[in-house]
Amino acid sequence: MNVSRTSDEECPASLISVVVPCFNEEEVIGATCRRLVEALESLGPRVDFELVFIDDGSRDHTLERLRSLQAADRRVRVLAFSRNFGHQIAVTAGLEHAIGDAVVLIDADLQDPPEVIREMVLRWRRGVDVAYGVRAEREGETKFKLWTAKLFYRSINRIAEVPIPLDTGDFRLMDRAVVNALLSMPERDRFVRGMVAWVGFRQEPVMYKRAARVAGQTKYPLRKMLRFAVDGVLSFSLAPLRLAIWLGFVTAGLAMLGLIYALLMRVFTNIWVTGWTLLFIACSSIGGIQLVCLGVLGEYIGRIYGEVKRRPLYVVRERLGFTSAARLNRLVERKAPL
């Protein structure tokens, strides 16, 4: 529902779904639920809401805590995976199970303040389809992480087919039309913030101060950050393949120049071009470039292989809170997936 709205009185009753992916968040999940409820209840009586928690194969007591939260509040839904499938897949599962007029994505670690949702809802009521959070300040993060994040977003915008907003995460509110567009995109290697940029619609930034993690440890160490960056680049750009082509041209050009130089030295002088060191460097360089190009091709071919297998994105172990009569009625109205 994308209708321009200016006040609670003029606004028809609406449902906001909040999708919260969780992985080993037992220390903070209770506080997250409490602050989300407080923030959403402050929106007024004309707004109903549901909290859709996705347990991404947690190995601690996160799922037990979520069961308790769901038993105490009918507005809490819990979807538990059979194993860890990854953050972006958990986000996708939440979108598939959310039935709201608008859907908010937020992580469970409280670095993204739930209170910002109010401003996002206000933008949505004024006709904005996507209100995405922009991190004006970031507390509790190392200079290395801040620097690499800035480098990544600025680099991907130079090579991506569509511009992706700088200094953003997945924290955002999306209108139902945007969510349906995302759910129509079947790819396995998902980069949600890039996919949201790709679908278009009217999008506006919401500036906020990102807090330090309340408890627990980051779920994105360097290895996962690198993999996430690779997913973003390969999912939204053919630049690595084009770079491989240009590396081939440059290498071939250098080889041709070397051949011409050797022939000129032999024809016009009595000197043979010698130097095993130069030959070793040339062969090693060519071999290295070939292996890099094969690796780039392998990444793209591997993604094609993953797509053609057509396996489900995730496997559900347990669902809680999705079968209430009111929700099923709304589900029928929306014809949304279970």
The string of DSSP letters for 40-66 reads HHTT-TTEEEEEEEEE-S-SSSHHHHH
pLDDT at position 93: 92
The runs of H, that is alpha helices, within the chain are: 29-41, 62-72, 87-97, 117-125, 143-159, 176-183, 192-199, 222-236, 239-268, 276-309, 325-334
Q: Among residues 10, 147, 148, 22, which one has the least CA distance to residue 91?
A: 22
Spatial distance between the Cα atoms of 182 and 314, rounded to a whole number of angstroms: 17
pLDDT at position 235: 65
The string of DSSP letters for 288-308 reads HHHHHHHHHHHHHHHHHHHHH
pLDDT at position 44: 80
Tokens representing 277? 């060191």
pLDDT at position 140: 57
pLDDT tens over the chain, length 338 residues: 444 444 444 445 789 999 999 998 888 898 899 999 989 988 887 888 899 999 988 888 999 999 999 988 888 999 999 998 888 889 999 999 998 889 999 998 888 889 999 999 999 988 899 998 888 776 656 666 666 666 666 666 666 677 777 777 889 999 999 999 988 888 887 888 888 888 888 898 988 888 766 655 665 555 666 666 666 666 666 667 667 767 777 776 776 776 677 667 666 777 665 665 566 666 766 777 777 777 777 777 777 766 777 778 888 988 988 876 566 666 656 655 54
pLDDT at position 239: 66
pLDDT at position 247: 72
pLDDT at position 1: 41
Q: Among residues 4, 5, 14, which one has the least CA distance to residue 47?
A: 14
pLDDT at position 43: 85
Q: What is the CA radius of gyration of the chain?
A: 25
